[in-house]
Amino acid sequence: MTFMKKTLAASIAVAAASSLAMSTAQADMSDGEVRIGYLADMSGTYRDLAGPGGLTAMEMAVADFGGSVNGASIVISSADDRNSADVGANTVRGWIDQDNVDMVGGLVASSVSIAVTKVLEENNGLGIVSGSAASSITNEHCTPNHIHWVYDTYPLANGTAKAVVEQGGDSWFMLTADYAFGHALESDVTKVVEESGGEIVGGVRHPFPTNDFSSYILQAQGSGAKIIGLANAGADTVNAITTASQFGLTQSGQQLAGLLIFLNDVHALGLEATQNLLLTTGWYWDMDEQSREWAQRYFDEVGRMPTMVQAGIYSSTMHYLKAVEAAGTDDPETVRAQMAEMPIEDFFARNGSIREDGRMIHDMYLAQVKTPDESTGEWDLYEILSTIPAEEAYRPLSESQCKLVQN
């Protein structure tokens, strides 16, 4: 056989092997595609902290991955859950039954996430919760079919509430959103405040969402508490802080503690209203060079800096796709196990790993909002005061009520 014939035969063999490998890989991908559903509040209270910007972050991850995995195209569907558990659950049922969606991402309102993860468990699907805060999502509401990615109420309480009590804020009045997230945050904050030597002197729960906070702020003022803890988020937090400012609450010697404050909230309210506010965050765009590089790319796409949720959506989507690639399949059970085996170290997460309860633990950060004089630009809003190590930030497994944890 001549050299040319040998080369031709070898090339045909390689091409045949490559074709077989690709067809085998695609055969392990249901429907020959990896299908992702993005479910979030696209138009309401939580629009700015996740919303369309979170969808853009997911699309960036897919593009950066190359648009396909193991020869299978990556397809994204999206829907507005309208902060309704029923809407969210029905949307995901439709995605699973009719569109064969492999993974559901986004997931913001805790009530929606809890409803959706039940649907995923019933149908052996997979979900990655990036926007919800309730720690119960990987505690009493844990399932083998979802992972909680960005943050939850446990580190928010252990970071912000503990720091405030240590600075002398030992009497608290809780202003709480009346649904799963608010209840979980109120419970976690109460535990931390009391264990730190403080007390909860009163509280009130408001409907979700709420536009008029007048009566609630008056009750908070009348309580005499040093600290008014805001166990709410998004537009509710912005409205509560705005009303408190109008009523002169902080001028009377009381202080607000925003227990879940997002970058977009501080930006919307301005530094005059939020300066020196303590908060706990899972990520900040100006933390380091890695964060700044990705945030600038996002800014170029969206026109505003990303929140920790939007950054987390990119991170979780990328980790999911890497796990699909490594496992050679989009089977939910196999992929979730693969995700748990792989460490997470990227621009978003430091010292990240996925525990048996589905909680992705990573370093969290205690931050303080800058004063107008300290800020050097429109989005220069936080100073990172300290790092809360991953193993200290989240609820210890020894205290877990999750059915997946062997205590």
- What's the confidence (pLDDT) of residue 125? 97
- What's the confidence (pLDDT) of residue 407? 62
Query: Which CATH code, of 3.40.50.2300, 3.40.50.2000, 1.10.287.70, 3.40.640.10, is assigned to 154-281+365-393?
Result: 3.40.50.2300
- What's the confidence (pLDDT) of residue 367? 92
Tokens 């509280």 belong to which residue? 203
Q: Which of 275, 266, 282, 320 is nearest to 155 (CA)?
A: 282
Q: Is 341 helix (H, G, I), strand (E, B) or coil?
A: helix
Using only C-alpha atoms, what is the Rg of the chain?
23
Domain boundaries, the chain: 34-151+287-362, 154-281+365-393
CA distance 254 to 257: 10
β-strand pairing of 146-148 with 255-258: unpaired
Q: Cα–Cα distances in Å, from 356 out to 10, 278, 325, 347?
A: 47, 31, 22, 24
Domain 34-151+287-362 has CATH 3.40.50.1000: no
The string of DSSP codes covering 317-328 is HHHHHHHHHHHT
CA distance 181 to 165: 22
Whether 154-281+365-393 and 34-151+287-362 are alike in CATH topology: the answer is yes
Tokens 């980790």 belong to which residue? 319
Consecutive H or E run containing 38: strand 33-40
- pLDDT tens track of the chain, all 407 residues? 443 333 334 333 333 333 333 444 444 888 899 999 999 999 998 999 999 999 999 999 999 999 999 999 999 999 999 999 999 999 999 999 999 999 999 999 999 999 999 999 999 999 999 999 999 999 999 999 999 999 999 999 989 999 999 989 999 999 999 988 999 999 999 999 999 999 999 999 999 999 999 999 999 999 999 999 999 988 899 999 999 989 998 788 898 998 999 999 999 999 998 888 889 999 999 999 999 999 999 999 999 999 999 999 999 999 999 999 999 999 999 999 999 999 999 999 999 999 999 999 999 999 999 999 999 999 999 999 999 999 999 999 999 999 999 86
- What's the confidence (pLDDT) of residue 135? 93
